[in-house]
Amino acid sequence: MASDLWLAERTAVLETAQELARQGLVSGASGNVSLLIPGETPLLAITPSRRAYRSMTAADIPVIDFEGDPLYGELPPSSETMLHVAVYTARRDVRSVVHTHSVYASVCAVSNIAIPPVIDEVVVLVGGEVRVAPYQPPGSEELAQSACEALEGRSAALLSNHGLVAVGHDLDAAMDVAVLVERAAQICVMTKLLGTERLLPPEVISVEEGLYQMHRTMEENA
């Protein structure tokens, strides 16, 4: 296969995955990243299964169709490919999916604690409370469906006993959401320990939800 096929998309996925590792949101080969490649037949570039980010190259990033059939690359795609495809199918505004196992988001996921709107960015960039999708086996169709339901009207969802999935109109946006939710999760855990958790005022949440929906509508129509 020609080495320059979808090179820009594969390189962007690689750089995002390695940045996630640098920020401590994933470790080893955990988590996964994908980028939608629009077209008459939509494709996605996605991180491969069981390949450490530190040694990964753009040539390792497979490009597949929505059936999982490979168009580029020799490595198998992420075991969570079904999750990524389900999100792209359900959400016209999404062009990138990032799945992390970051510590504080995972603490909330394991504890079945949704991350409430304790800071403005959670509403403006995520859409409101980060819900917890009920546990389903990794890589399963049931997990994909559960995640999509928790993502309805949101840019992030916790996966019970698993981690976080963040989405965006491009890789930078999805990455920003993943970083934000990890920070919000840390704030949530710390304030619960202190017993001083205070949510944003309802009227503020209402205005910021409107901003989120406006931005999402613009992305759907872009």
Q: Is the pLDDT of residue 209 over 80?
A: yes
Report yes or no on 164 lying in a domain. Answer: yes
pLDDT of residue 4: 86
Report the distance separating Cα 58 and Cα 135, nearest Å: 32
Backbone angles phi, psi at 123, to 5 degrees: -85, -50
Is 80 among the residues known to form the active site?
yes
In a domain, 1, yes or no: no
Average pLDDT over residues 178-192: 96
Q: Is the pLDDT confidence value at 17 over 70? A: yes
Q: 112 or 218: whose pLDDT is higher?
A: 112
**Token pair 């020799």 in the structure block, residue:** 74
CB-count burial class (<10 Å; 0-12, 13-18, 19+) for 221 = exposed
What confidence category does residue 184 fall into, taking pLDDT thresholds of 50, 70 and 90? very high
Q: What mean pLDDT is predicted for residues 82-86?
A: 98
How far is the C-alpha of 9 from the C-alpha of 4, rounded, in Å?
Answer: 10
pTM (two decimals): 0.94
**CA 129 – CA 96 distance, rounded (Å):** 21
- Segment 124-138, tens digit of pLDDT: 999 999 999 999 999
Look up the domain containing 87 and give its range: 7-220
The yes-or-no verdict on residue 1 having pLDDT over 70 is: no
In a domain, 105, yes or no: yes
Domain presence at residue 202 = yes
Q: 115 with 184: CB under 8 angstroms? A: yes
- Number of structural domains, the chain? 1
Q: Does residue 162 have a pLDDT over 80?
A: yes
* pLDDT for position 2: 59
- Please indicate, yes or no, if residue 98 is contained in any of the structural domains: yes
Rounded distance, CA 115 to CA 122, Å? Answer: 9
Contact 119, 45 (CB under 8 A): no
Among residues 9, 80, 182, 208, which one is catalytic? 80
Residue 93 main-chain phi, psi, to 5 deg: -85, -10
Mean pLDDT of 161-174: 97
2 inside domain: no
Res. 219 pLDDT band, cuts 50 70 90: confident
Please give the average per-residue pLDDT across 10-35, as a whole number.
Answer: 95
Render pLDDT for 94-125 as a digit per residue (tens, 0 to 9): 999 999 999 999 999 999 999 999 999 999 99
CATH number of 206's domain: 3.40.225.10
Average pLDDT value over all residues in the chain: 95
